[in-house]
Amino acid sequence: MFRDHHRQALEAQWWPTERVREYQLSRLHGILTLAYGKAAFYRRVFDSVGFRPAVMNSFDPIQSIPTIDRQTVAENLTAMCTRSITEIGVDFASTGGVSGAPLHFYLDASRSSVEYAYLTASWERAGYRLGMPMVTLRGRVVRADRRGMCHEYDPILRHHYYSSFHMSDDNMARYLEHIGTLGPCFLHVYPSTVTALARFLVRSERKAPTNIQGIIAESEIVYPEQRKMVEDVFGRRLFSCYGQSEKVVMAAGCEKSDDYHVWPTYGYFELLDENGYPVTTPGERGELVGTGFINTVMPFIRYRTGDWATYVGDHCEACGREHIVIRDIRGHRTQEVLIADDGSEIPWTALNMHDDTFLHVRQFQFMQEVPGKAVVRIMPADAFNEKDVRRIARNLGQKLKGRLVLTVKRVDTIAVSPRGKAIYVDQQIPSASWSEHRNRK
């Protein structure tokens, strides 16, 4: 299973456009026929719009099928399944719910090896080869070893796991020292955990271990500022992949640019604008919508991921691949913005200062309950003092120009998602009420 999919992924990424389209049309035909024949939900929906998978011979008719989202899945859980959920080979899964309730669904038990085939094929673009030691800092609960360091080792995969929930300066110093003894290895991280390591290296004036061959960052948005800082500090490229538990779209960085290539054999991908039309103009943004080929237990057909990206083109100038190129993938906006007094939105990245503002800060997070006011929670590093508080207030104040009053608050811990992912904006204002606020003004 793994080998076949791995080989296919490696080959298919270089297929010419015509071959990709032929393959996708045949796989789409298969999944749509299965859904229509076996899943009550899809039969009802396809019938309601007059869509017949049997007579589909181009991509166009697909656009008559309504898109679905998390809520559709939550409301039609078993009606979307093509077989009994009690059968062997059916797994139950859930996604982390940073911005709302977790989503539950079903999928094929075999998808893990398929998923891993695509992941390793992606990582190989960064120079990784199966069997190389991998340093993992990604929200796993890791127990302390006999030296008291939160580190576990899997000798079969050659993965070293460190606890991203224990990132004090002392622990990071120990992690980095240990990583330095592993020989040529790769980092597999959340963008936020590798940023924390990079910030620690800067403020403690240490050098990054030179045996780290590359950095693979996944599962969170990669902000351009983070990428630059991490690449500067480690002297290695930060390579990123994009995917989701629902397994409809997977994209991996290009080896020659910071853009993403969508894997053409993983699912059928569409980039749709606010009105549901395909984005075809380079530079315009659209929502990532996918029809997964991997999950046959509960097909996700035209599933809106809630993530958005910029359309670059259908051909990569840098590497020559002939399929869709996207960049700047962003998630749900409630985790991205603060609301000014006039109801306008301020992306938190506009406040992510690259000077010495956060020099003695281990981690920070914005929290907002009412428009026009916010708290910046600061988890101090050792050298932090009152001067830092004044500098943060002054520098952020200059950027905000009175649109938002910010209070600096020192805290001992900053909450992360249940899977250890960073939450940069703890936005307590419901999105409906902030648009109301804006309309009133």
Applying CB under 5 A, the residues found at the interface with Zn ion are: 254, 316, 318-319
CB of 263 to Zn ion, least distance (A): 13
Residue 90, amino acid: V
CB of 257 to Zn ion, least distance (A): 6
The per-type count for the chain, helices as H runs and strands as E runs, is: 10, 20
CB of 321 to Zn ion, least distance (A): 5
Residue 80 DSSP code: T
What does the buried/exposed string (b/e) look like for 400-410 if buried means 16 or more CB atoms within 10 Å of the residue's CB?
Answer: beeebebebee
Closer of 319 and 414 to Zn ion (Cβ): 319
Among the listed residues 112, 98, 270, the one whose alpha carbon sits nearest the alpha carbon of residue 190: 98
CB of 262 to Zn ion, least distance (A): 11
Closer of 304 and 323 to Zn ion (Cβ): 323
Quickly tell me which residue has 């990206």 as its tokens: 309
Q: How many CB atoms lie within 10 A of CB 173?
A: 14
The structure tokens listed for 125 are: 């673009």
What does the buried/exposed string (b/e) look like for 210-249 if buried means 16 or more CB atoms within 10 Å of the residue's CB?
Answer: eebbbbbbbbbbbbeebbebbeebbebbbbbbbbbebbbb
Helix 111-123 / helix 2-12 crossing angle, nearest 10 deg: 40
Give the H or E element holding residue 313.
strand 303-313
Closer of 13 and 82 to Zn ion (Cβ): 13
The Cα–Cα gap between 119 and 372 comes to 42
Closer of 319 and 408 to Zn ion (Cβ): 319
Closer of 19 and 256 to Zn ion (Cβ): 256
Give the H or E element holding residue 153.
strand 151-154
Close Cβ partners of 3 (under 8 Å, ≥ 6 residues apart): 117
Closer of 144 and 318 to Zn ion (Cβ): 318
CB of 261 to Zn ion, least distance (A): 6
Residue 385 DSSP code: -
CB of 7 to Zn ion, least distance (A): 20
Closer of 19 and 387 to Zn ion (Cβ): 19
CB of 344 to Zn ion, least distance (A): 36
Closer of 224 and 397 to Zn ion (Cβ): 224
CB of 256 to Zn ion, least distance (A): 5
With beta carbons less than 8 A apart as the criterion, state whether 357 and 391 touch. yes
